[in-house]
Amino acid sequence: MLSFTRIRSALALALIAGGAAFAPLSASAQACKPVVAVAPSELVEAGKLTFTTNPTLPPMQYVDSTGKLLGMNIDLGDEIARRLCLTMNFVRMDFQAQAPALRGGRSDGIHTGMFWTEERSKAMFLVPYGMTGLDLVAAPNRKITLASADEISGFAIGVEADSYMERWLRDRQKANEAKGAKPIRIQAFPTTADAMAALRAGQVDLIAPPDYTGKDYVRKGQASMALASQGGTPTAMAFRSRPLAEAIATVLNGMAQDGTYDKLFDKYGVTKLADRPFAIRGPGPN
């Protein structure tokens, strides 16, 4: 049996070894100086930045064949978290569920290329960070060429439900019907990926994805362009906390100043936000 002295010595050595092992980690944590300090009370989980995203919109956010989350919004989120000295935590979620999750305190923010609208700017703190329009694309074996949006009457068009693209189509539908044109047959789907599946199956003539996704489909040979770059509105991140939204805006302005923002958007071919500096746009929730 070990004596008390030997046990005590062994414990002391273990503590010394453990302290040595943890020393680099502690030093690394202390070395990280956030651009802006975010109080733990502003986060769902202290030390983590929890964003929801819908990985069905390449090249902004998608999963590869191994299930890994990739895309410009993922890279942007990782960089923001790094500059805030936080661990990035992306939660995959359908778009329709993201606002309720944010309001319910299950996430810190929505980072899925959400379009800015006045209504949303009153319900959440929105920080625009890019610009997006929409493309109208057909199946690759069906060449449809449209001169303008006036020519989409009579087509069956698939679109993600409750999106800027659906709103744009319904506005066009009203305008075209006022002229006596044939109605647009709009079919709304839970995600753009579902709309794309319907296009492949021949259930719709066209789909209306965000322009960065439409061009990505065409580049990969998965679709043919019928009408490019329609509409246009800012895309934004959404937050339930004003201090966190302000911190994110500060980080984005820093990224713009040091060139990281331009480099990232150029890499993915996404349209940059011209109206700067980055800031909360809209009143936010009462």
| Cα 100 from Cα 67, distance rounded (Å) | 25
Q: At residue 107, does pLDDT exceed 80? A: yes
Residue 161: band (very low, low, confident or very high) from pLDDT cuts 50, 70, 90: very high
Q: What angle do CA 60, 215, 131 make, to 5 degrees?
A: 55
Within 13 Å of residue 56, how many CA atoms lie on the same side as its CB?
18
What's the Cα-to-Cα distance from 166 to each of 133, 193, 202, 223, rounded to whole Å? 12, 15, 20, 19
- At residue 1, the pLDDT reads 43
Asked whether the domain spanning 134-232 has the same topology as the one spanning 40-132+234-272, the reply is: yes
Where helices occur in 34-90 by DSSP H, the ranges are 72-83
- At residue 143, the pLDDT reads 87
Residue 31: band (very low, low, confident or very high) from pLDDT cuts 50, 70, 90: confident
Phi, psi of 95 (to 5 degrees): -60, -40
Phi, psi of 205 (to 5 degrees): -85, -35
Whether the CB-CB separation of 286 and 121 falls below 8 Å is answered with: no
**Residue with the two structure tokens 């150029």:** 266
- At residue 30, the pLDDT reads 61
How does DSSP classify residue 152? G
Residue 13: band (very low, low, confident or very high) from pLDDT cuts 50, 70, 90: very low
Report pLDDT digits (tens) over 36-53. 999 999 999 999 999 999
The answer to which of 8-17, 85-94, 180-189, 242-251 has the lowest mean pLDDT is 8-17
How does DSSP classify residue 79? H
Q: What is the mean pLDDT of the chain?
A: 90
The answer to which of 3-17, 165-179, 213-227 has the lowest mean pLDDT is 3-17
The pTM for the full model equals: 0.81
- At residue 60, the pLDDT reads 95
Q: At residue 95, does pLDDT exceed 80? A: yes
- Specify the CATH class of 134-232 in words: alpha beta
Higher pLDDT, 55 or 286: 55
Q: At residue 56, does pLDDT exceed 70? A: yes
Q: Are strands 109-115 and 48-53 parallel, antiparallel or unpaired?
A: parallel
- At residue 3, the pLDDT reads 45
Which tokens sit at 139? 């199946």
- At residue 229, the pLDDT reads 93
Boundaries of every domain in the chain: 40-132+234-272, 134-232
Residue 27: band (very low, low, confident or very high) from pLDDT cuts 50, 70, 90: very low
Q: Are strands 56-57 and 61-63 parallel, antiparallel or unpaired?
A: antiparallel
What's the Cα-to-Cα distance from 35 to each of 55, 83, 199, 263, 276, rounded to whole Å? 28, 6, 45, 20, 19
- Element (H or E) spanning 90, and its range? strand 87-92
Q: What is the mean pLDDT of residues 130-157?
A: 95
Q: Which amino acid is located at 31 in the chain? A: A
The verdict on domain 40-132+234-272 having CATH code 2.60.40.10 is: no
Whether the CB-CB separation of 281 and 127 falls below 8 Å is answered with: yes
User: Percent of the chain at pLDDT above 70?
Assistant: 90
Q: Which amino acid is located at 227 in the chain? A: L
Q: Are strands 156-160 and 206-207 parallel, antiparallel or unpaired?
A: parallel
| Cα 278 from Cα 52, distance rounded (Å) | 21
Report pLDDT digits (tens) over 208-253. 999 999 999 999 999 999 999 999 899 999 999 999 999 999 999 9
User: Percent of the chain at pLDDT above 90?
Assistant: 82
Nearest to 158 by CA among 135, 182, 133, 181: 135
Residue 22: band (very low, low, confident or very high) from pLDDT cuts 50, 70, 90: very low
